[in-house]
Structure 1
Amino acid sequence: MPSDYRLAPSLAARLLGLSLVGWGLLVFLATVLVVLLQAPVAVLSAAVLVCVAGVFGTGVLLTRAAYVVRLTEAGYRVRFVRGVGVAQGRWSEVEDAATDTIAGSPCVVLRLRDGRTTTIPVEVLAVDREQFVRDLQTHLDRGQRR
């Protein structure tokens, strides 16, 4: 059974705030078009509607739809994390898993048989660190027994 781990609420809030700046910039540019270039007011209305839909869509994506880490019976996949290393792999490729602190952040490091690694900063996940490590180890043990 797959396990999906989403963004931590604090990180999702920061990303939503950043996206609000982007959506606000779009409304500002539409306003400039209407005022300076005498574009129809419908341009501004359309921009506002797109932005409202975009804000809600971004919120849903960040809090419910998008996962950062997915663990399945076959392997794992990590998304939206810079410096992750190998973003996806099969459990049969994993030599071992270890916890480490990298740049002051607690991480889980999957060492692959070919020497490459996958680094997952646990602080970006909306889950207790110990619970994530236990679930990852369970998936790893099952996957390597196959």
Structure 2
Amino acid sequence: MPQDYRLAPQFAARLLGLTLMGAGLAIVVATVVAVGFAAQPWVVSITVGLALALILFVIWTLRSGTWVVRLTDDGYKVQFVRGAGVKQARWADVADAVTTEVAGSPCVVLRLKNGGSTTIPVEFLAADRDEFVRAVLAQLKLHGKAR
């Protein structure tokens, strides 16, 4: 059974805030263009509708249980993390796991046998840091990788 780790609330709020700011900016630009160039008022209406749709989509995505890290019996997958490196791998391909800090943020780094790695900032996850590390180590131990 997969173990899913969702986005931490503070990062979800930041993402929603950026979406609201971008939508507001798009509405202001559409209004200025419509007034400044005597464009049709439907330009603003369409922009407001698209902005509202985007906001609702982001809220739905954040509330629907979208995961950031998924641990399965076969391997792991990471999404929505820029700079994570290798986004998915099988446990058989993992050489080891270490905890470290990257840019002042605590991370779990899964080092792969082929030289690649996956860096997961644990602050990004809506889970206890130690619980996540234990889950990763349990998977590695299950596949004969833990020391």
Q: 1:89 aligns to what?
A: 89
* 2:20 alignment partner in structure 1: 20
Per the alignment, residue 57 of structure 2 pairs with 57
Offset from partner CA, 1:70-91 (integer Å, 9 cap, x none): 1111111112222212211110
What is the root-mean-square deviation in Å for CA atoms of aligned residues?
1.8
Decide whether aligned partners of structure 1 residues 38 and 110 sit closer, same or farther in structure 2, where only a CA change above 3 A counts: same
- Calculate percent identity across the aligned residue pairs: 52
Structure 1 or 2: larger helix share? 1
- What is the TM-score of this pair, normalised by structure 1? 0.88
2:109 alignment counterpart: 109
Q: How far, CA to CA, are the matches of 1:47 and 1:139 in structure 2?
A: 47
Work out the CA distance in 1 between the residues paired with 2:132 and 2:17.
27
- Return the offset for 1:15: 1.4
1:78 maps to 2:91: no
Whole-Å Cα distance in 2 between the matches of residues 8 and 141 of structure 1?
Answer: 27
Q: Return the alpha-carbon distance in structure 2 between the equivalents of residues 48 and 56 of structure 1.
A: 12
Deviation at 1:28, TM superposition (A): 1.3
Which digits, 9 at most, give the CA deviation of each residue in 1:77-136, with x for residues without a partner?
112222212211110001111211222211111111222221111000011101111222
Write the distance in 1 (CA, Å) between the matches of 2:112 and 2:137.
14
Could you tell me which residue of structure 1 aligns to residue 142 of structure 2? Answer: 142
Q: Map Cα deviations across residues 37-66 of structure 1 (whole Å, 9 max, x no partner).
A: 222222212221221121121122234343
Pick closer, same or farther for the CA change 1:98–1:22 going to 2, 3 Å: same
Contact 1:7 1:68 in 2 (8 A): yes
User: Whole-Å Cα distance in 1 between the matches of residues 128 and 67 of structure 2?
Assistant: 16
Q: Is the 8 A contact 1:91 1:143 kept in 2?
A: yes
Instruction: Give structure 2 stretches of 5+ with no counterpart.
Output: none
Is the partner of 1:68 in helix, strand or coil? strand
Which shows bigger deviation, 80-89 or 90-99? Answer: 80-89
